[in-house]
Structures are given as C-alpha cells and as structure tokens.
Amino acid sequence: MTPRPDALDIDPASAAPPDPDAEPAGFVVVVEPNDRIHFLDWDGGRGHAAPVLLIHGLAGTAWMWASVARRTIAASRTVAMDLRGHGLSDAPTEGYDGDTLASDAIAVAEGSGLLDRAQVVLAGHGFGAIVATWTAARLGERCAGLVLVDGGWEDVGGATGLDVDEFLRTIEEPPEVLRTMRAYLADRRAFDPATWDADQERAARAAVVELPAGRVVASSRPHAVAGSVAAMLAYRPLDVLPAVRAPIVALAAADDEDGTRARSLAEAQAALAAADRPPIRVARFPSLGHNLVRYRPAHVAAAIVAVAEHATT
C-alpha cells in the first residue's frame, strides 16, 4: 500500500524511557486583571531540544500529561498548564474566548522561562489542541512547532451543529459514576486497564473533587467548561491553521463512522496548501479512542521530541 503523502511514521522507541522519579513543581503566573494560571514545571531539558508547553483538553488538568512529560524531559524542558477554570487555575467568570486563552498560554510560556530560548513547541490534546493552535498563531516565529493530539483541525461547531447546552449534555457523567470516588476511579480504570497506573490515577483524581458526603464532582467549574465549549464551537480551523508559521504534526485517533473527521483534516490540508504552507504531517491510530496521551504516551512523546529537536537543527 502506498503511504499517504502527509503520513508521519512515529517510532515510539525513539522516546526516552519514562523517568519514574520525576516530580514537577507547581507555580502560577498572574494575568490581567489579577487571575492566577497554574502550571506544572517538569524541568528536565537535559538534551538541547526546544522547550515544550503542554495544554490539556476539556475538563482535564495538567496532570493528564504526566506519562508523556516523564519521557520528554530527557530532551526538553517541559511545562504543563491548567487552563483557566480548570485544575488549580483561577476560574473568572469571563475570558474563555480564544484570544484570552492564547494569552494565558503565552503568559505561562513567558513566566516559566520557556520563551527565554526564543522558541517553544506547543502540544495540545482535544480542546487543548485548539488552544495550542490559537497560541501558535499568536506567537508567530516564537513557536517552533505545533503538535495536535486528536484535535485542532476540526470545525466542531459546523460538524455537529450543536449549541453549547446540547454539547454539554453529550459529555455529562452518569450519576452512578460520580456516586463515590471509588466508582469514579473504577470507571476511569475500565477505559483501558493495561494503561492504568499511578499517573493515570493521579490525573483522574485531579479532575474531580470529593465532597464530604462521598460524591464527586468535576474540579473544572461549570461556567468555565461552558465557556470553553463556546470557544471550541466558535473555532474555525480553516482560518487559524494557515496563520501558524511553525511545522504542524497531528496524531489522529479513530475516525467517526461517516468520515467527518477525515474530511475535516483534508479540508485543513487544502487550506494550508492554498496559503502556501506545508501540510500537516499525520500519524494515524485507527484502532484507538480519543485519549492517545494515555493509550500511546511513548508515541505522543516521540512526536513532540522530534518536533522539538528539529527546531534546534
């Protein structure tokens, strides 16, 4: 079979083994008007590759990147941020538009010192890939590369036709999953028992808060999730992706049955070609679900490090 011209072959063995002893330090940067954006600094950077900023998806936290960060730190200084309204970041009532979310990410890149080396690699998962794309477009030449982990090339609003309330209903957790922390963790473990470990449990625990009565609720604030969904539905990749000056790599999980996601990627490639930009290089995982960060951390880390190392050559 002839490989696709945009195909990207990722060798997971090229990623460093995970460092089981690496523990990040937590910091905040303050953005206008006085909101704190939290990030985890995995430090590292024993190699000479460009530094990396990791951006989690909807209703996630920086801890979702732990299994990837343990691998990237061998080559790159690695920071993972909590989007506003998520994790330990503040949750103002406004600021969930693309421009403000990109400003938050740039504030983390600058405040953490990642941009002291002039360029940074951005990697985002799902909604985080959209935020990373907005950020890459804003950074211009200061972005060394953009890694889209199962997101960032789709016009979700146009493809689904859903409004914010309708979309929120599609991601509601069943009551039985949230009745206790034990039930919640069992549900998360069942997604893929083979990849469940201490890092996955910590990421799962960071995404919820256990109430005194034993029930759990999402740690991401409802208004923040609603605002983020509104931003996601307003995202137009055919307008934003051509504005990114850096090389773009995408890791794509299973397509939907009607091929909508594949068509979206083809449309994005056409928009880049029309703007005289190089195509997105794509690694496909047709048998896997959305959470490639959990299912294939070595592949994700290898893709990020390859982009970061290419930026220094």
Domains of the chain: 12-172+220-310 (3.40.50.1820)
Q: In DSSP terms, which residues pair with 283 in a beta bridge?
A: 251
3-class secondary structure, 218 = strand
Name the pLDDT band for 256 (thresholds 50, 70, 90).
confident
97-115 per-position pLDDT tens digit = 999 999 999 999 999 999 9
For residue 307, is pLDDT > 60? Answer: yes
CB 224 within 8 A of CB 85: yes
Q: Using alpha carbons, list the distances in angstroms from residue 13 to 49, 89, 300, 303, 305.
A: 17, 34, 11, 11, 12
Count the alpha carbons within 13 Å of 64 in the hemisphere toward its beta carbon.
29
CB 79 within 8 A of CB 114: yes
Burial of residue 308 (number of CB atoms within 10 Å: 0-12, 13-18, 19+)? buried
Task: For residues 185-209, give the mean pLDDT.
Answer: 97
Rounded to the nearest 10 degrees, the angle between the axes of helix 127-139 and helix 98-111 is 70
Task: Compute the residue count for the chain.
Answer: 313
pTM above 0.95, yes or no: yes
26-78 per-position pLDDT tens digit = 999 999 999 999 999 998 767 789 999 999 999 999 999 999 999 999 999 99
Q: Please give the mean pLDDT across all residues of the chain.
A: 95
CB 296 within 8 A of CB 288: yes
